């Protein structure tokens, strides 16, 4: 008998994939964790019924949450990822020769362990000596580490349950304080199709704290609606003002390249309207 998995992305719409095999399922202290094998997308990590990453399209999300900030900052040495227990953002951060320490602050240690076991292409760099894995509440971590980071990436789940706090103005203010004087943050900010009110509010909140606020999108087929977005808050550097001759071409990317560093901020009209 065929088994199918559906993520209900709105009250009236979902995305469905045929399950070849369930490789792992558990209820951790924080959430249900499923690792399923699909023909269409390879292995798929699902948290509380929501797709977090898949073998075949993970590169878009992990490259795009990482390289716009990393390549805008002229010398990122100390970087923090809040959430992101699958390790994909850490893998991309380590492509910058300036990196001294990449801290992963993930609340659920089981996500890290399951990812290491089943998603080695994504999580494989978590063992790198430059990586400091902290199984900790990211909100508390940034509160306890002020003026510490060049770049902070917020790689959260959807804004439900405990993750709601990772979309709050207070949290973006806490990140501001955890950044050094010229630091940059990027937060994943959901789908322009399905989360328009959230995007408007998050952009406004970040713009009320950071002198430079930018928003960009990319296509991720397994995420709700297939169109995903990120919001950048920067204390000093503007990605639209960088000297393109100084941009790094990160190795082994499949989506990001330095030629798109500025063009990615050009938005479709209906998306740009959300930011007014
Ligand atoms: N952390 C990635 C965002 C999840 C989207 N389903």
To the query of whether residue 48 is one of the catalytic residues in this protein, the response is no
Residue 161: the pLDDT is 82
pLDDT over 90 (residue 29): yes
Please tell me whether residues 224 and 165 are part of one structural domain.
yes
Q: How many domains does the chain have?
A: 2
Structural domain including 14 reads: 3-54
Could you report the predicted ipTM of this complex, rounded to two decimals? 0.94
Q: DSSP 3-state assignment of 79? A: strand
CATH classification at residue 24: 2.30.140.10
Query: The pTM is what?
Result: 0.98
pLDDT tens for 239-266 read: 999 999 999 999 999 999 999 999 999 9
Is residue 129 within 8 A of residue 141, CB to CB? The reply is: no
Is 162 within any annotated ligand binding site? yes
Tell whether residue 137 is among the known ligand binding residues: yes
Q: Is the CB of 223 under 6 A from ligand 1?
A: yes
86 is in an annotated binding site: yes
Q: Are residues 120 and 251 in the same domain?
A: yes
Task: Ligand 1, residue 224: give the atom nearest the CA.
Answer: 6
Q: Verify that 231 and 185 share a domain, yes or no.
A: yes
151-173 pLDDT tens trace: 999 999 999 987 999 999 999 99
Q: Tell how far the Cα of 109 is from the centroid of ligand 1, in angstroms.
A: 17
Asked if 80 and 160 sit in the same domain, the reply is yes
Whether 114 and 174 share a structural domain: yes
Residues 121 and 225 in one domain: yes
- Residues 213 and 155 occupy one common structural domain: yes
Task: Give the contacts of 153 (CB within 8 A, at least 6 positions apart).
Answer: 65, 66, 69, 79, 80, 81, 82, 84, 89, 93, 185, 186, 187
């Amino acid at each position: 008998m065929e088994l199918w998995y559906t993520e209900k992305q709105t009250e009236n719409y979902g995305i469905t994939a045929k399950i070849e095999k369930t490789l792992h399922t558990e209820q951790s202290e924080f959430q249900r964790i499923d690792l399923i094998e699909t023909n269409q997308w390879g292995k798929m990590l699902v948290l509380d019924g929501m797709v977090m990453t898949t073998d075949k399209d993970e590169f878009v999300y992990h490259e795009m949450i990482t390289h716009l900030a990393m390549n805008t900052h002229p010398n990122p040495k100390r970087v923090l990822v809040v959430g992101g227990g699958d390790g994909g953002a850490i893998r991309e951060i380590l492509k910058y020769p300036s990196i001294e320490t990449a801290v992963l602050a993930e609340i659920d240690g089981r996500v890290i362990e399951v990812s290491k076991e089943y998603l080695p292409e994504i999580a494989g760099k978590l063992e790198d000596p430059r990586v400091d894995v902290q199984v900790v509440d990211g909100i508390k971590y940034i509160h306890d580490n002020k003026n510490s980071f060049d770049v902070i990436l917020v790689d959260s789940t959807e804004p439900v349950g405990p993750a709601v706090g990772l979309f709050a103005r207070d949290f973006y203010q806490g990140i501001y304080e955890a950044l050094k004087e010229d630091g940059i943050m990027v937060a994943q900010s959901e789908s322009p199709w399905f989360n328009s009110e959230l995007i408007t509010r998050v952009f406004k909140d970040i713009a009320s704290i950071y002198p430079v606020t930018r928003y960009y999108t990319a296509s991720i087929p397994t995420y709700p609606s297939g169109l995903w977005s990120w919001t950048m808050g920067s204390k000093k550097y503007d990605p639209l003002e960088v000297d393109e001759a100084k941009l790094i071409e990160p190795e082994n990317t499949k989506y990001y390249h330095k030629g798109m560093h500025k063009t990615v901020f050009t938005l479709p009209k209906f998306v740009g309207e959300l930011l007014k």
